């Protein structure tokens, strides 16, 4: 498997897991979503919001990649979050819509990126103003690991409310896709 294929799998996994998480979290009332559960970002809503905040920050950095990914042009129009806990949307429904849009952008970016794009360095500045240069592949891997880390927290918070998210393993998604192959419009596959 190439690095490109790996990140395409991770983008699909990100969308698959977010759909499962949001479907499960939707069983909570708005008050339960915002209840302080002593997590890093306090609540289920706060943690879901934080993932979207971090994704926005990273994708805005990725939009500055020398390959100038077309898929990321829309991200440049999004205001940069001012903090890692800035509330981006007033309610769960709005947050879920934004999440779905972001997941499609991530899928398109990973589809568009070539193997050579991943070995290029990317210059970026952190939210604290520190400048760094890292290989794009390392940053994309961090991006996906960060999402997985916080979704793990959310599955724990949901299980404490007796809500089972179901299978969360990448291999479960891959097996599910193998059993139910979907057409890939980008490749001309119309099945």
Give tens-digit pLDDT for 40-89.
999 999 999 999 999 999 999 999 999 999 999 999 999 999 999 999 99
pLDDT above 50 for 190: no
The pTM for the full model equals 0.91
Q: What is the largest CA-CA distance in the chain?
A: 48
Q: Report the pLDDT value the prediction gives residue 184, as an integer from 0 to 100.
A: 56
- CB count, 10 Å around CB of 96? 20
- CB count, 10 Å around CB of 155? 19
């Amino acid at each position: 498997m190439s690095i490109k294929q790996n990140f395409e799998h991770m983008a699909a996994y990100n969308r698959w897991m977010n759909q499962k998480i949001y479907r499960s979290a939707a069983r909570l009332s708005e008050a339960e979503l915002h209840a302080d559960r002593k997590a890093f970002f306090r609540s289920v809503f706060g943690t879901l919001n934080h993932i979207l905040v971090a994704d926005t920050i990273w994708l805005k950095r990725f939009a500055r990649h020398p390959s100038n990914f077309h898929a990321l042009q829309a991200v440049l129009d999004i205001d940069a979050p001012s903090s890692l806990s800035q509330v981006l949307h007033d309610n769960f429904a709005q947050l879920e819509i934004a999440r779905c849009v972001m997941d499609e952008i991530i899928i398109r970016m990973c589809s568009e990126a070539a193997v050579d794009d991943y070995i290029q360095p990317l210059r970026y500045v952190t939210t604290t103003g520190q400048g760094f240069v890292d290989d794009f592949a390392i940053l994309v891997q961090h991006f996906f690991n960060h999402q997985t880390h916080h979704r793990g927290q959310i599955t724990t918070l949901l299980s404490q409310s007796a809500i089972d998210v179901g299978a969360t393993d990448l291999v479960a998604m891959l097996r599910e896709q193998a059993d139910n192959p979907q057409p890939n419009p980008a490749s001309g596959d119309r099945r």
